[in-house]
Structure 1
Amino acid sequence: MGSIQPENTAAVPFTLATFDGNATMGKKKQTRSAIGVNGSYYDLAALLKSTLDGQEGLDLDQYSTTLAIFEEWQNTSPTLSLLAGKIASGEVKANPIISTGNGAASTGVGTPNLLAPIIYPAKLLAVGANYTGHLAEMGLPVEKWTPMPFFTRPPTTSMVGPGESVIIPESTKQFDWECELAVVVGARLRHASIAEAAAGIAGYTIGLDMSCRDLIVAGRGLGTDLMRGKAQDTMAPVGPHVVPAAYVGNIDEKRITLDVNGKRMMDASTSEMIYKCDEILSIMSQNVTLEPGDVIFTGSPAGTAGAHGDCWLKPGDRIRAEIEDVGVLNIVIRGKP
């Protein structure tokens, strides 16, 4: 599968994240972009200013936020690759703002908080009925649904980052999880072919499609209510970072796991996807223009709460979601804010 490639893809891999620059001072959020190299995150704007400012053609405004980075991905990715190499070699000396363990941000006392990796994309879209195992566990025909089902959700209120970020809606008694590979768009796509869509994939992250199972089915014969069932506030945690597609390899063969309170609930592979990532973006672009920075959830494999004996989520529950070569997203469920 093609993708937008940074120059010198043999160089040190990097990730992109967003952190709260005022987290340690108790002030209003100040979102800042970060580059992740070898298990640590660094303040990207500060590093660029101290190391590459003045380089011909370098526009620091293009790196002010991760959204700005993806809006100019063809121009920004080579510079980021260069910077990652300088960090790894020690040529650039900087203190990390966050150090990591097992791919999960360690946000202890005195460290900034990671937020959703893109604040905020123009669109957050999600695909349904896209894994063979999930269709089977729901008792549905295991086949390609046509037309491909997808829906939108409000990124500014539903997208959150790692940590104690997800609040259970008071209206539900069946709060559930779904772990999904999320695609980050790096080019404007409209009526794109599959090849064009593949070339427009900038990177990948992890998305959790939190679901109120008892609210999805609308009453009075109205069908499905995805707004209450899947798009309420904080119900789309994403992160902890975006990995450029060049460093992920074959995205169609990645293991997906999810643990709740240390118990394995999901264990599947992206090989089970019915619509692949490039096909998903191509189909979506026939209906709506995809823009750089847009985030696409690509469907969930088997292993939801309902399939595990009605073990619905409650305040204090801990979720650990991992996608091979993409990262680990840790979430703690909260009650009333």
Structure 2
Amino acid sequence: MSVKPEPGSALFAGPFALATLSAPDGPAFPALVTADAQVIDLQAAFGDDRLTTRDLLDSWESALPRLRALADGGEPVRGPLDGFRVHAPVEPRQVFQSGANYRQHVIDLHVAHRAPGDDRPEEERRAEAAEIMDRRAAQDLPYVFIGLPSALTGPYDDVVLPAWAEQPDWELELAAVIGRPAHRVSVAEASGYIAGYTIANDLTDRATVFRRDMPQIGTDWLRSKNAPGFTPLGPWIVPAESVPHPGDLRVTLTLNGETMQDESTRDMIFDVARMVSYASQTARLLPGDLVLTGSPAGNGMHWGRLLRDGDVMEGSITGLGTQRTRCVAEAS
């Protein structure tokens, strides 16, 4: 899909963003995309025909000043963005996903997933969920689990809905991209380990979230979230210096032109720095890794409308651009 900024609008916040692009029938390459939608081939600019976006993130502290200089001009561009294919902007080693991190979203899910035999009024169940959220916030325990890099796909690629997925749902999320190895970093330090931000749509098959054969096992994130292409990513990585207030961004998803999610990251229970710090207490986060921060209210379970063949999702986050994906049913 070719990409053009709308008249009077910007593709992203700041003077440049990182992308992974390819010309028609050509290999993918890391690119700097300027605010006026011009493409600089970073393999050529850095003199390394094997360079990837993740390599840049591996040496982010030294790469960032060079990227700023390239964005200022003086480097021949490869051409306008329109006409290049846009891929997922990075191939991470690890994907850290977050559940139950938007207050209103979790309350809605708690009400939607009524337990068998629970005949209490909705108002009572909402009050119970709100109490649970307050307790989680007080205990300072985010919920983080592991996703698979193989689930990632480009921001304009079709999403194949597996034949076995009975309730495929959308979950648009802000994703932090790690720029320095991070292990046991504090909340105060965590923002310094974030290279930039991008958009992720963390699709979930609601029917397979909980194990039916043995409910005591709990959630099955492998089955429900990690089908190939279930995580459209991008289109860009916008440097953190261009996104000074990640806790005040608008997260919006439309389905066939109708707004389904439209919420601020202010509704997060745990902010981005807290999520990065928490994940790093156990794991060693590596450059290029993704930390997804949860999805706001307005998913398909809330609306009683799950994804179907032919649906088109458009997801945008303030300053990070817009992704557009079409759902295609898997051939039986």
State the TM-score, normalizing by the size of structure 1: 0.82
Of 79, 85, 89, the residue aligned with 2:66 is: 79
Partner of 1:4: none
Query: Cα deviation per residue 1:32-57 (whole Å; 9 max; x = unaligned)?
Result: 01111124141423651xxxxxxxxx
- What is the alpha-carbon distance in structure 2 between the residues aligned to residue 63 and residue 14 of structure 1? 22
1:68 to 48, 55, 60: 55
Contact 1:62/1:72 (<8 A) preserved: no
1:218 maps to a residue whose letter is R
- Report SS of the residue matched to 1:35: strand
Partner of 1:333 in structure 2? 327
What is residue 149 of structure 1 aligned with on the other side?
143
Supply the distance in 2 between the matched residues of 1:137 and 1:38 (Cα, whole angstroms).
Answer: 38
Q: 2:263 aligns with which of 254, 268, 280?
A: 268
CA distance in 2, matches of 1:227, 1:284: 19
Q: Is 1:322–1:329's contact at 8 Å kept on the other side of the alignment?
A: yes
Q: Any idea what SS the aligned residue of 1:197 has? A: helix
Does 1:171 find its partner at 2:164? yes
Judging changes above 3 Å, is the alpha-carbon distance between structure 1 residues 190 and 212 closer, same or farther for their aligned structure 2 residues?
A: same
Q: Residues of 2 paired with 1:121 and 1:34: CA distance?
A: 17
**Does the CA-based 8 Å contact 1:218-1:224 persist in structure 2?**
yes
Q: Confirm or deny: 8 A CA contact 2:43 2:49 kept in the other structure.
A: no
Task: Give the Å deviation of 1:130.
Answer: 0.5
Is 1:185 matched with 2:185?
A: no
1:63–1:39 Cα change, 3 Å: farther
Q: Is the 8 A contact 1:43 1:97 kept in 2?
A: no
* Residue 98 (str. 1) matches residue 81 (str. 2): yes
1:283-306 Cα deviation digits (max 9, x unpaired): 111100001110111001000011
Distance in 1 between the 2:38 and 2:243 partners? 19
Decide whether the 8 Å contact of 1:129 with 1:299 is kept in 2: yes
- In the alignment, structure 2 segments of 5+ residues that lack a partner are 1-12, 111-128
Cα deviation for residue 117 of structure 1 reads 0.3
Sequence identity of aligned pairs in percent?
31
Inter-partner Cα distance in structure 2 for 1:302 and 1:85:
39
Partner of 2:95: 124
Stretches (4+) displaced over 4 A: none
Helix, strand or coil for the counterpart of 2:235? Answer: strand
Taking a change above 3 Å as real, the CA distance of residues 215 and 186 of structure 1, as seen in their structure-2 partners, is same
Give, as a single letter, the amino acid of the residue that structure 1 aligns with 2:329.
Answer: G
- Tell me by how many angstroms 1:314 deviates: 1.2
Determine if the alignment matches structure 1 residue 200 to structure 2 residue 171.
no
Distance in 2 between residues matched to 1:41 and 1:207, nearest whole Å:
24
Change (3 A) 1:197 1:60: farther
Change in 2 beyond 3 A, CA 1:297/1:66: same
Q: Is 1:36 equivalent to 2:33 in the alignment?
A: yes
* Distance across 1 between alignment mates of 2:187 and 2:39: 35
Deviates more, 1:285-294 or 1:62-71: 62-71
Question: 1:159/1:265 Cα in 2 relative to 1: closer, same or farther (>3 Å)?
Answer: same
1:95 to partner: Cα distance: 4.5
Which amino acid is the alignment partner of residue 287 of structure 1?
T
Matches of 1:270 and 1:333, distance apart in 2: 26
Q: How far apart are the structure 1 equivalents of 2:330 and 2:36?
A: 33
Mapped pair 1:112 → 2:106: no
Instruction: Name the structure 2 match of 1:108.
Output: none
Tell me the residue number matched to 2:113: none
- String of CA shifts for 1:203-236, please: whole Å, max 9, x gaps: 0000001010111111122321111111121111
State how far apart, in whole Å, the 2-side matches of 1:334 and 1:97 are: 30
Moved more, 278-287 or 141-150: 141-150
Tell me the C-alpha RMSD between the 2 structures: 2.0
Residues 151-206 of structure 1 deviation map (CA, whole Å, 9 limit, x = unaligned): 11110x20111223311011112110001000000111111111221111110000
* 1:12, distance to aligned residue in structure 2 (A): 6.0
- What one-letter code is carried by the residue in structure 2 that aligns with 1:142? M
- State the Cα deviation string for residues 236-294 of structure 1 (Å, max 9, x = none): 11100100010112111111111000000011001111111111111111100001110
2:290 corresponds to 1:304: no
